[in-house]
Structure 1
Amino acid sequence: MNELYQHKARKRFGQNFLHDAGVIHRILRAINGKAGERLLEIGPGQGALTEGLLSSGATLDVVELDQDLIPLLKLKFGLNPQFTLHQGDALKFNFAELANGDKLRVVGNLPYNISTPLIFHLLEHADVISDMHFMLQKEVVERLAAEPGGGDWGRLSIMVQYHCRVEHLFNVGPGAFNPPPKVDSAIVRLVPHTERPYTAKNPKLLERVVREAFNQRRKTLRNTLKSLMSSDAIEAVGVEPGLRPEQLDIAAFVRLANALADQPQSN
């Protein structure tokens, strides 16, 4: 049995196992799970957070990709009736099916190599998620929480903030992990809007406008969006075509996307 506890972090899974008890307690306090809630942990690893999440009395589903960790997790938590283990890839997971009418609270120490695509995958299921608490690379959290006008403001900031309220809770140093990563980490809370401040007529078009705008972020909208709309069309929604994309707020991008949605040839 001891060999199960000597699992080495795998580089290909981007594993860095959290071991600092103070940090673990602080994360659990931020999540503040309660009996009757449905928690979902992505990438439980060796179960550093899992035990505390179960202690809250909540029902806990965990999704773990590394099949070598499955015996360890079953050994530690398998007898708890509140615990359900899913071996698989969270990027391909159907969270709506798991929710089954409930609202999920999602938690995870996310591998840096999949954090952005996984967040976008979760946003597709935002209607069944009440909140998300993630450990991410600090620079990713800074991008998530960025404001217009700065270098961190971009596609990730806009699309996540379109769907969610973002809170950068606190930073975590490399020493809290084994092995220590070469970067600082941070905890972020994402809370899907019950009512969005701005509504895109076609969210896929909003994604497309934002992606095109930031493909060459040093260029002006007149250039980056020319394949989608004319300078006159940009100006018609109150946006100056000579601006660069980082100078626009979410409301401006939504206006551009909605103007595009109203153009018959773009449908």
Structure 2
Amino acid sequence: MSSRPQPHRARKRFGQNFLRDPGIISRIVRAIAPREEDRLIEIGPGQGALTEPLLEAAGHLEVIELDRDLIPGLRVQFFRYPGFVIHEGDALKMDYAALKGEGPGLRVVGNLPYNVATPLIIRLMESGAAIADMHFMLQQEVVERLAASPGGAQWGRLSVMAQYHCRVESLFTVPPEAFVPRPKVDSAIVRLTPHAELPCVAEDENLLFDVVREAFGQRRKTLRNNLKGRLSSTAWEQLSIDPGRRPQTLTVEEYVRIANFLARESS
């Protein structure tokens, strides 16, 4: 008797698009390069397209799946693997530090639904030392924003937040025909590796991200306008930053400098 699950209809409310292309799957697994000693976590395994080669390579894998209808099929499909563990629930609500426990940092992978990708990545980045690295399939536009450089059209809040926490590498694109059903946009694979030591340290990270949010509130306006409630002309001079610049021209280091100045001013 076959151990394969019955076909499952992709659900719009979960943003499901199931990866089918074996060449793309193989390329993703090579990029992840799973090892036996890794603590691998797959978010949203779906019908197991990535799950099987990851299990074959590492011998064990934990998955987080929200769609209860998929879980019985996954249990049947991978019952021969004693190292296969299912965490039933919402990856957005998972406590990754608790999941890590005393073990090695988590290597997190997944084909993320577009509707939850950004908040989930932010939650993982905020989990700090719990995460060793992340490999995600995302909408190509999101990957471009994550990996953008200052001064470009894609540089924004998500770029600053991601690159404050992580080294970001855009690996390769994935066409719509690699999925069932076909999405309307191209996808891409991104690698996010948390910095062992932050290149620049914010004294108050919440304040940093408040400043970044306000700065990018109106991209066409200057820093002087967007941050007028926070910084005076004298303060801009002390920071050696021209308040006539647009928010997308500042580096992560410059945003951290602004936030640290405000943190010291309020202490």
Question: What TM-score range do you get, normalising by the shorter chain?
Answer: over 0.9
Structure 1 distance, partners of 2:178, 2:209, is: 36
Taking structure 1 as reference, are residues 122 and 82 closer, same or farther at Cα in structure 2, changes over 3 Å only? same
Partner in structure 1 of residue 124 of structure 2: 122
Shift of residue 11 of structure 1?
A: 0.5
CA RMSD of aligned residues (A): 1.4
Q: Is the 8 A contact 2:4 2:73 kept in 1?
A: no
In structure 2, the residue matched to 1:227 is 229
Q: Which amino acid aligns with 2:150?
A: P
- Post-superposition Cα deviations, 1:27-65, rounded to whole Å, max 9, x if no partner, equal 000001011110000000000000111111253110011
Structure 2 length-normalised TM: 0.96
Q: Which residue among 199, 206, 211 is the counterpart of 2:208?
A: 206
- 1:16 and 1:65 map into 2 onto residues whose CA distance is 14
Mapped partners of 1:136, 1:152: distance in 2 = 15
Q: How far apart are residue 100 of structure 1 and its match?
A: 0.9
Q: State the partner residue of 1:81.
A: 82
* Aligned counterpart, 2:17: 16
Does residue 43 (structure 1) correspond to residue 63 (structure 2)? The answer is: no
* Secondary structure in structure 2 of the residue aligned to 1:108: strand
1:81, CA displacement in angstroms? 1.5
SS in structure 2 of the partner of residue 131 of structure 1: strand
Q: Look up the match of 1:136.
A: 138
Deviation of 1:147 (Å): 0.3
In 1, distance between residues paired with 2:3 and 2:79?
17
Gaps of 5+ in 2: none
The TM-score, its normalising length taken from structure 1, stands at 0.96
| Residues 179-218 of structure 1 aligned to structure 2 (within 5 Å) | 179-218=181-220
1:247 to 246, 249, 262: 249
**Structure 1: which amino acid aligns with 2:211?**
V
Q: C-alpha distance in 2, partners of 1:7/1:237? A: 56
Structure 1 regions of 5+ residues with no counterpart? none
Question: What is the one-letter code of the residue matched to 1:97?
Answer: A
**Among the aligned pairs, what percent are the same residue?**
60
- Compare 222-231 and 171-180 and name the one that shifted more: 222-231
- Cα distance in 2 between the residues matched to 1:30 and 1:127: 22
Match of 2:8?
A: 7
Task: Please say if residues 36 and 59 of structure 1, whose CA atoms lie closer than 8 Å, have aligned partners that are also in contact.
Answer: no
The number of equivalent residue pairs is: 265
Out of 1-10 and 62-71, give the one that drifted further.
1-10
Q: Partners in 2 of 1:183 and 1:9 — Cα distance?
A: 17
Alpha-carbon distance change, 2 to 11 in structure 1, aligned in 2, over 3 angstroms: farther
Q: After superposition, where does 1:47-86 map in structure 2 within 5 Å?
A: 47-86=48-87
**Matched residues in 2 for 1:166 and 1:26: separation?**
18
Structure 2 CA distance, aligned partners of 1:2 and 1:84?
Answer: 17
Moved over 6 A (4+): none
CA contact (8 A) 1:167 1:190 kept: yes
> What residue number does 2:150 align with?
148
The corresponding residue for 1:34 is: 35
SS in 2 for 1:56: helix
Moved more, 71-80 or 189-198: 71-80
What is the rounded CA distance, in whole Å, between the counterparts of 2:81 and 2:59 in structure 1? 11
Structure 2 SS opposite 1:67: coil
Give the superposition deviation at 1:137: 0.3
TM-superposed CA distance for 1:6, in Å, is: 1.3
